Structure 1
Amino acid sequence: MALRLQQSVKYLILSLFTFVSIYPIFLMITSSFKTKQEITTHPLGLPSSFSLENYTSVWKKVHFADYFLNSLYISSVSVFLILFVSSLAAFYISRYTFRWNGMVLFFFMLGLMLPMKLAISPLYMMMLKLHLLDTLSALIIVYVAGHISFAVFVFYGFFRTLPKDLDQSARIDGCNDFQVYYKIVLPLMRPALATVSIVDLIGIWNDFFYPLIFIKSTELGTIPLGMLTLFGEYDTDWNLLFCGLTLSSLPMITAFLFASKQFIEGMTTGAVK
């Protein structure tokens, strides 16, 4: 009886946390179908009718397609470069011993200790001299440089858990160093790849600060900048804002659903021996 009561309390607490986590998303989606008046008068109620008129309006009014494609391009290229460069760096640092091994790892860890936003003025001047202001390449460079330290930290810890006998066996079979990384190690690090991908993708997709600094053209804006146009000086189109938020969150929700299993495995790697 006591065990059943204990299990019931656990499920009750879990259900409460689930409700608290999901209800804001549910409220955002339902509000995207409401009119502006319904959001003001009945903010927590259901819409009187489900129509795609708000989505059509936000797609045309804010040029959401351009912002979506820009965000998709920046996020996908940045995440790919982060995964590729950081996995190679972490593989080399963790699998090979050389004189400056610790110093190189410490150099990457400095990126976790020092926020890049403190260096926004030198970054702006550097992009100005390189003629990269108001380009998507500037954002990609900043994102890769800013997120590579976290990725190296995660991959380094993951590589340390893999036995080096795998490398030696692959070399006996004729694999070179890159083939050991690509054919042997890379398939085993899917949980770590999923963890870094989702964490970095969410940070890059939702970032507002760097696009505001480096992007001036409207056609090169990202989704967070596009949502800013819905905030008026005296009034705000809340129904269109909720539509934009719903559309912008769908790729993140989809990515997490596809990679959730690998993400959870990556977060719990090393927790159980």
Structure 2
Amino acid sequence: MTTKTRAAGRAGSLVTHGLLIVFALLAIAPILVIVVNSFKTTPGIFNEPFALPNSETFSLAGYDRVFNRGDFVLNYRNSLIVTVGSTVLTLVLATLAAFALTEYKVRFAPVVGGFFVLGIMLPIRLGTVPIIKTMISWQLMDTLVALILVYTAMSLPLAIALLMTYFKAVPAAVKEAARIDGAGELQTLSIVLPMVRPGLAAVASVTMLPIWNDLWFPLILAPGRANQTVTLGVQQFVGQFLNDYPALLGALTLGAVPLVVLFVVFSRQFVQGLSQGIGK
């Protein structure tokens, strides 16, 4: 490799990293501005919006009003129940379905797999009216169970399609050896599961983030005060306290922080799981 080639490669790498840093700052800056200003008084927000809080502008009054007049503890509990319940149910059902579709050679398996791929392309919101009618007939309107069922159905197509790529990559000799030793199908699945762990992590991360951030179905299926999620609680709080900027920014911060934490915790598993799944 010549000196000019190396210099060109380094220059290209610097440009790429520079652009990535710029894009990262553009994405992070609005969140930082909201978080910083949520700890200020109203004059401090308008007079010095990009400055850090000081002895004159620092205030926790916005958060005090958020927790005293809002139901964020209840909202967080509801979001946690819905997100964890939907994710666990999606993982269990997607694992069983993906294992069956890749392991058992039956005629209709490719057709069923094709339906799951089709489900990825069709947004579930198109079926809002039938979903509402179904939940009414099941007497599940304004319940967390309705949200868990809908989110599980929404997440299954992508989860199954992703896990199928991992189960197809598992060596057949491993499963044959387990069956020769007398293992049943569930025991064979338990032996295979550690080999598809990156795929399970990817499915969990892909499932959790959209569910926590969704507003549509909580607004349609569980609008009651006792079942509101964080996103719906923030939206209604913002509507009530539109002119109370410290409380408004505090509510937005409480709604955004969990998403940032989830992404930071699961970003590596998300990227690694998706990239390995595509490669396989």
Q: TM-score higher than 0.5 here? A: yes
CA distance in 2, matches of 1:135, 1:234: 26
Q: For residue 190 of structure 1, what is the aligned residue in structure 2? A: 197
The letter of the residue matching 1:162 is: V
In the TM superposition, what are the counterparts of 1:36-75 in structure 2 within 5 Å? 36-48=42-54, 49-75=57-83
CA distance in 1, matches of 2:223, 2:142: 6
Task: Say if 1:134 and 1:214, in contact at 8 Å, map to a contact too.
Answer: yes
- The alignment yields a C-alpha RMSD, in angstroms, of 2.2
Q: For residue 12 of structure 1, what is the aligned residue in structure 2? A: 18
The letter of the residue matching 1:40 is: F
Q: For residue 204 of structure 1, what is the aligned residue in structure 2? A: 211
Task: Say if 1:206 and 1:224, in contact at 8 Å, map to a contact too.
Answer: yes
- The one of 6, 16, 21 equivalent to 2:27 is 21
Consecutive unaligned residues in structure 1, runs of 5 or more: none
Q: For residue 137 of structure 1, what is the aligned residue in structure 2? A: 145
Task: Say if 2:76 and 2:230, in contact at 8 Å, map to a contact too.
Answer: yes
CA distance in 1, matches of 2:154, 2:206: 13
- Number of matched pairs: 272
- The one of 114, 136, 139 equivalent to 2:122 is 114
Task: Say if 1:230 and 1:236, in contact at 8 Å, map to a contact too.
Answer: no
Q: For residue 88 of structure 2, what is the aligned residue in structure 1? A: 80
SS at structure 2 position matched to 1:83: helix
Q: For residue 110 of structure 2, what is the aligned residue in structure 1? A: 102
Q: Structure 1, residues 183-226: CA drift from partner, whole Å, max 9, x if none?
A: x2211222212222112111110111111111232121111111
CA distance in 1, matches of 2:134, 2:254: 34
CA distance in 2, matches of 1:271, 1:210: 30
Q: Structure 1, residues 141-193: CA drift from partner, whole Å, max 9, x if none?
A: 111111111111111122222222211122223321111112x2211222212
The letter of the residue matching 1:23 is: A
Shift of 1:253: 3.0
Say which is worse superposed, 77-86 or 157-166, in terms of deviation: 157-166
Say which is worse superposed, 79-88 or 220-229, in terms of deviation: 220-229
Q: Residue 242 in 1 paired to residue 266 in 2?
A: no
Higher helix share: 2
CA distance in 2, matches of 1:199, 1:272: 18
CA distance in 2, matches of 1:271, 1:116: 24
Q: Residue 156 in 1 paired to residue 164 in 2?
A: yes
Q: For residue 257 of structure 1, what is the aligned residue in structure 2? A: 264
Task: Say if 1:190 and 1:262, in contact at 8 Å, map to a contact too.
Answer: no
